[in-house]
Amino acid sequence: MTKQEEKRLDKLKKEKQRMYEMFSYEREYEGYSHICGIDEVGRGPFAGPVVAAAVILPGDCDILYLNDSKKVSPKKRETLYDEIYEKALAVGIGMASEKVIDEINILNATYEAMRTAVSNLPVEPDLLLNDAVTIPGIGTEQVPIIKGDAKSASIAAASIVAKVTRDRMMEEYDQIYPQYQFAKNKGYGTKAHIEAIKEHGICTLHRKSFVRKYI
């Protein structure tokens, strides 16, 4: 065996160990039949929706490299997104538009997106593992986990699905409103995005409650 092969095997061994630890919460609650991870993306941007995903992974899940979506490269996120959809027992997506965010505020809009994601699951969960929050208006038992997207495989999978879903939407919006560079900034308030708002004003995708001072 070459040194390169040894390194590759050692790296794979370490990743399998990391993923074993990422399933610690799922093992802790193994008495439940359908454990669902929930996470959201897009609370901070100036434009576009907040998107939530709910993912139920199988008990024998063998997906590697699941992590907080911010810690995974865009290319790897796309690959994992396809693998999650292929292997998950169920995936649900929910979102709240910029108009809803302006009407009920970002926190309540996030809860609304999460409730919708759960309701869109084709399989009913009996336990929710949430990234940090307890979602109001849901009767299913919930376990909020601080930094859950880096500690629970189910939440990490939801984080990746939500991120890829939202990023693809913002890339499509870029075709309609190229002046704001949504494909590049994903709606976040970069310097170039702020300058574009000052020059062109806002579009229908902007959250007015977020960009008032720049209008």
Give the annotated binding-site residues.
Answer: 39-40, 131
> How is residue 92 written in tokens?
């649900």
Report helix, strand or coil for 63: coil
Report helix, strand or coil for 20: helix
Annotated binding site for a divalent metal cation: 39-40, 131
d(CA 215, CA 200) in angstroms, rounded, equals 9
Q: Residue 28's closest CA among 148, 120, 115, 112? A: 148
Segments of the chain assigned E as strands: 35-41, 50-56, 90-96, 127-131, 142-145
In the block, tokens 């939202």 appear at 166
CB of 77 closer than 8 Å to CB of 69:
yes
> How is residue 36 written in tokens?
């669902």
Report helix, strand or coil for 134: coil
